[in-house]
Amino acid sequence: MSEIRAVTSPLSRRALLGWASSALALVAGRRGAAQGAGARPVPAALARLQAVAEVTLPTALISGAAERFDRWMREYTPGAESLHGYGDATITRTPADPRPAWRTQLAELDRQALKEGSATFAALPRAARERIVRSTLDALPNARLVSDPLTAPHVIVALLSFALRAPEASDLAFEAQIGARRCRPLEASPDAPVPLTARRGR
């Protein structure tokens, strides 16, 4: 209910409908496979995320990034107990739910698109989308990638931070199959990771 309160008043009817469809998708996601195949439409929020991913992420990371981010977002539990390590006895909790603000920000992209003469952000040509994204990021004070996407000040930063913290992104940057945080044979650790080109060539 708090999510509804966060988005109703300032939004257009279309944005509200878009949010409602993504909220329905959230419920559907939680209920898992109870829904029949093909019964779940692509929510507007997911389409917007996909449109953002296409103009912000490196080409090789675009495919599936929006879906992964959407699923990660849906499965988040605000207020869960965080890791408490050495040196501090304080018990901390995961941040407040960023999703209402992120949905508002996604809806705002549609409002920007309206000024460009498009019904939705996703329907804009790539160059126009990038212009809006750049202008949005430039307007953020100290916009930078964050290690914890949940603390991102904007959904664009969250999506980028989420996608670029994945081991696949790191492999792409280092052009090698490092496979960080994956189970890998210990005895292979002295070897140089295999170049990514070797995998492509197979």
Partner 1 sequence: MTRVVHESDICIIGSGITAAMVAHTLSARTNARITVVEAGEEQPTVRDRFAHRQRWLDYGESPWPRDHIDGMTADGLQSRSMCVGGLAMHWGGVTPRWAPEDFKTKSLFGVGTDWPISYEELDPWYQRAEEIIGVAGAQGPPELDPRGKPFPMPALPLSWNLERLKVWTDAAGVPMWSQPSAKNSLRYDGRAPCCRNDTCFPICPVGAKYSPDHTWDALRQQNRITLHTRTLIRRLELGGGRIERALGSRRDAKGTPVEYRAKQFVVAAGYAWSSWLLLSSAPDGLANRSGLVGKYLAGHRNVQAFVDLPIRLMPGINEQHSLVTKFFMRAPRTNNYVRHDLRVWESSVGREPRLRDGEGRLQLGDALLNEWRSRTARGTARVRAYYDVIPDKHSELTLDATQRSPFGDPLPKLAWRDDPTSATLRGPTEDYLKKLFGDLARVGNGAVIRTAVDDFQDHPAGGCRMGVDPATSVTDPHGRTHDHENLWVVGAPQCVSASCANGTLTFAALALRSADALVREVGEVRPPAARARRELQQLQERKELR
**Can you give the binding site for partner 1, defined by CB under 8 A?**
55-60, 72, 75-77, 80-89, 91, 94, 130, 133-134, 137-138, 143-145, 148, 150, 157, 160, 164, 167, 169-170, 172-176, 178-187, 189-193
Q: Compare residues 17 and 81 and give the one whose CB is closer to partner 1.
A: 81
Q: Provide the minimum distance between the beta carbon of 34 and partner 1 in the complex, in angstroms, as a whole number.
A: 22
Q: Compare residues 128 and 143 and give the one whose CB is closer to partner 1.
A: 143
* Residue 93: Cβ within 10 Å count: 11
Residues with Cβ within 8 Å of residue 178, at least 6 apart in sequence: 167, 170, 171, 193
First to last CA, the chain: 52
Q: Compare residues 38 and 190 and give the one whose CB is closer to partner 1.
A: 190
Q: Compare residues 16 and 97 and give the one whose CB is closer to partner 1.
A: 97
| Residue whose C-alpha is closest to residue 52's, from 152, 137, 173 | 137
Q: Provide the minimum distance between the beta carbon of 14 and partner 1 in the complex, in angstroms, as a whole number.
A: 27
Cβ(93)–Cβ(81) under 8 Å? yes
